[in-house]
Amino acid sequence: MLSQQIAPLIVLRGGRVLDPSQGLDETADVVIEAGRIKNVGRDAGAAYEAGEEVRIIDAAGLWVCPGFIDLHVHLREPGQEYKEDIRSGLEAAAAGGFTAVCPMPNTQPTNDTRAITEMMVARALEHGGTRLLPFGAVTKGQRGAELTEMADLRDAGAIGVSDDGLCVMNAAVMRHAMEYARTFDLLVSQHCEDHDLTAGAQMHEGARSTQLGLRGWPRAAEDIIVARDLILAEMTGARYHVAHISSLGAVRLIREAKSRGLRVSAEVTPHHLLFTDEALLSYDTYCKVNPPLREQADLEALREALADGTIDCIATDHAPHTDLEKDCEFEAASVGIDGLESAIGGMLGLVREGVLTPLRFVEALSAAPARLIPDFEGGSLREGRRADVTVLDPAAQWILDEEALRSKSHNTPLLGRELTGRPVMTVVGGRVVHELGT
């Protein structure tokens, strides 16, 4: 259990309040009482005095945002707790500024039943920090054939379904999954990869894979599944979501589908926004990820689409692995990047470069993912809302140091790099679950 108690009242004074749900970008106070947003406004907190019952925090120079939500993480419990577990994963999430995270079901065993979903939710509640909103599997054992009992999964707390790590390859299965999920308003998140086209692939297929002599993962393998699924989403009316979009072709398809009013959405990871396959020229296994890092044209298309809202949100695809699985030959290395604690520091550069406005950056991490989660009271600082709040210092200079990471793993190409900007306080339901320096 976390030791922090609920302070009856927290006053964040004079911060830059960025709340995309209200189009708010102004200097203001945020008052949190009994776990909820009491009010937001210039000098709203002026009347309070610090004391046992009231904590006053000088937020001058800081950004005060609705709590960040990560729609795509791997916390490895049950089954691979040596890489990460729910507790370490939620601590990493809190340290990274996230007030809610959505773990994917590719655990061991697969999260394809009510019992496993309930166990994960209970474990998180016992920890008492960042909220855990799990995805259940689309198919039993993620084998791509038989659908899970989605009603049970939803009743146990699942917010969506996905076979992430694997693609639902069979079109008939995907159609029935969408029809079934629609009944329960569950989000269907697809890992878009035609596995026949990526057999044995180690990296993006292009000039660099040829140069390195590694088998390639062509964009077409992603685009084909996105195109097929959009047709099925239109047919079924399901809420369809593209996980970790990486190719410029997939962006084009989503843009076209949205222009016709389809209920589709997409997320992009920090690493696909920051790196290209050039990072693999040194055979850096920390950059081996699925879908793979692609080319400059893809990176630019992803940035543009995130800025204009074609891509709804940023999700880390936090995929912890130990040294054993990464300090080895490239072809033997596991895929994935540890992302929760480096996401904000890594991506604030996009704001400084003018790729994203501060408000859009915050929206892609809060209001946008919140909209995709059924009945979720988050992503907003409106008065009366549950007080999930992320406070960050956009100017803090720091080094992503292995020793300081809360995650059990540290497989990220940002390790050891100097970053600018970081979360300094994470508040969940009015409780401080992370504070820098404590």
Q: Which residues bind Zn ion (CB under 5 A)?
A: 164, 191
Minimum distance, C-beta of residue 315 to Zn ion, in the bound complex (Å): 10
Minimum distance, C-beta of residue 147 to Zn ion, in the bound complex (Å): 19
Minimum distance, C-beta of residue 29 to Zn ion, in the bound complex (Å): 41
270: left (phi over 0), alpha (psi -120 to 50) or beta: alpha
Q: Please report, in angstroms and rounded to a whole number, the separation of the first and last CA atoms in the chain.
A: 16
Minimum distance, C-beta of residue 4 to Zn ion, in the bound complex (Å): 34
Catalytic residues: 317
CB closest to Zn ion, residue no: 191
Both structure tokens of 260: 């016709």
Residue 351 identity? V
Q: Which residues pair with 51 in a beta bridge?
A: 54
Length of the chain: 438
* CB of 227 or CB of 307, closer to Zn ion: 227
Both structure tokens of 137: 């599997």
* CB of 114 or CB of 191, closer to Zn ion: 191
- Reference 89, options 260, 296, 276, 316; nearest CA is 316
Minimum distance, C-beta of residue 243 to Zn ion, in the bound complex (Å): 5
Residue 319 identity? A
- H helices of 215-262, in order, are 219-236, 248-259
* CB of 28 or CB of 343, closer to Zn ion: 343
| Contact between 216 and 180 (Cβ < 8 Å) | no
| Contact between 411 and 321 (Cβ < 8 Å) | yes
* CB burial of residue 384 (10 Å; 0-12, 13-18, 19+): exposed
* CB of 93 or CB of 167, closer to Zn ion: 167
* CB of 21 or CB of 334, closer to Zn ion: 334
**What is the rounded distance in angstroms from the CA atom of residue 190 to the CA atom of residue 51?**
50
